[in-house]
Structure 1
Amino acid sequence: MSKIGDFISDVYSDKAAMYIAPLSAYKLIWIFLIGCFLGYIIETIYCYPKTGYQSRQAVLYGPFVPVYGFGGVLLTLALYKLQNTNVFILFIISAIMGAAFEYLYSLLQELLLGAVNWDYSNAPFNIQGRTSLLYGVYWGVLGILWIKLIYPFLSQMIERMPITIRSTFAFLIMVFMIANLILSALAIKRGGDRLQNLPPEGDLDRFLDSHYNDEHLARVFPYIKYIR
């Protein structure tokens, strides 16, 4: 345990080095993956008192929630050069940006897949059920924690990896997550088609019906709500 503590202490001992470590494509890919995983943990803990344990993953394979991964990348890009800005300003930027992103993500998911992952229609000060004042506050707090504490630590951890390992794994992560996202989107959309009793139109639809039937989707995505 002392070695772990010493390592963390070393990482935080030179914050200037963390802040000036340049952004790069491979680092953003790592941030996306880590954000997806942290999102799964946050969602599981947050929802447990209300629903007990149930799958909170938002893709077919792995404990990942992509909205947090994309959110982590977005917060990093927007706040990267603002680490020393007043926390109130960071809060406002993060809250507005996070709420807008959450709204857009939900809208695109509905337009493309005919489904949504969340519905805040019963929350006060919500915008078409896609985001709300409360979740804007959550994004604001998360933005401060992210750019002040979480990102500097992750950045330094990533920088300490041998360059061959971090770049190779970044490429593999990117390929895996792109395939995971595409397959998940296709399976969810086909699930909506089945609800409308639409027959399979080709080999892809038959593959999805065979491998990702309604029972499978209900087990992996118990919270998804189909709109049409």
Structure 2
Amino acid sequence: MWTRELFGSDVYHLIAAFIIYSVLGWFVESAYMSFCNHRLTNRGFAKGPFCPIYGFGAVIGYLVLNPLSGHYVTLYLTGAFLATTFEYLVGIMMQKLLGEVWWDYTEKPMNYKGIICLESTIAWGFYAIIITMFLHERVLHLIDAMDMAYGRILCIVILAIVTVDYLIRLYLLFKTSIQEEKDRLIDKYRSFRARWY
């Protein structure tokens, strides 16, 4: 499975790159938000330093945008458009499935429903250039610096820890939502009962 070719790369390199970009994305966003909030801010969904939206975005973005390497303007515009579209679709999906979006751009100028904004779109274009032209090659070198047998074990362990971390967070989120819904129904019942007795 690990050596199977997928989109011009092997599964091992894709999974390892996904993990690295997820951690890097968490670090960059947490550092930026900590600076903005003047206090340490964890921008991950769960406890661990992991933002899978960055992992998926970076890996998929690289695979799609790599043919545009060297064409900076086209790469920038395509990267900005695709990343903004991806961010919007993930935001809509989160609203429908979880009832909330894990980011909020309502205070940013030129935002749409607080899910996307011009500032992020501009940044996504630069990230597309950085990942495609400079960063991805270094990520691959980092992956290749470790023996593949150990790398596979490390990937499995990291993904297992992240999965448990996310399952606990989802359980707590849904448990809270169920309790809030239960409290709301009890309040409605008491209000209804108070009108008749």
Q: Which secondary structure does the structure 2 equivalent of 1:196 belong to?
A: helix
Greater relative CO (CA pairs within 8 A, separation 6+): 1
Q: Name the CA distance, whole Å, in 2 between partners of 1:184 and 1:59.
A: 8
Query: 1:197 Cα deviation (Å)?
Result: 4.1
Q: Which residue of the other structure, out of 14, 20, 34, is the alignment partner of 1:48?
A: 34
Tell me what 1:213 maps to: none
Of residues 78, 93, 98 in structure 2, which corresponds to 1:93? 78
Q: Whose Rg is larger?
A: 2
Cα distance in 2, alignment partners of residues 198 and 90 from structure 1: 51
Determine the structure 2 residue equivalent to 1:133.
118
**Offset, 1:69:** 1.7
The aligned amino acid for 1:106 is G
In structure 1, what is the equivalent of residue 180 of structure 2?
195
Structure 2 regions of 5+ residues with no counterpart?
1-7, 185-197
Aligned length: 177
Say if 1:114 and 1:189, in contact at 8 Å, map to a contact too. no
Deviation at 1:74? 1.9
Q: How does 1:174-193 map to 2 (within 5 A)?
A: 174-193=159-178
Q: Which amino acid aligns with 2:139?
A: L
Question: How much has 1:67 moved relative to structure 2?
Answer: 1.8
Q: Does 1:104 align with 2:89?
A: yes
Q: Distance in 2 between matches of 1:125 and 1:63?
A: 30
Residue 29 of structure 1 aligns with an amino acid whose one-letter code is: I
Structural mapping, 1:14-29, within 5 Å: 23-29=9-15
Identity over aligned residues, as a percent? 25
Aligned position for 1:82: 68
1:180 to 1:153, Cα distance in 2 relative to 1, 3 A: same
Please, which runs of 5 or more residues in structure 1 have no aligned partner? 1-21, 200-228
- Distance (whole Å) between structure 2 residues aligned to residue 147 and residue 110 of structure 1: 30
Q: Structure 1 residue 63 and structure 2 residue 49: aligned? A: yes
TM-score normalized by the length of structure 2: 0.79
Partners of 2:170 and 2:57 in 1: CA distance? 19
Distance in structure 1 (CA, Å) of the matches to 2:176 and 2:72? 44
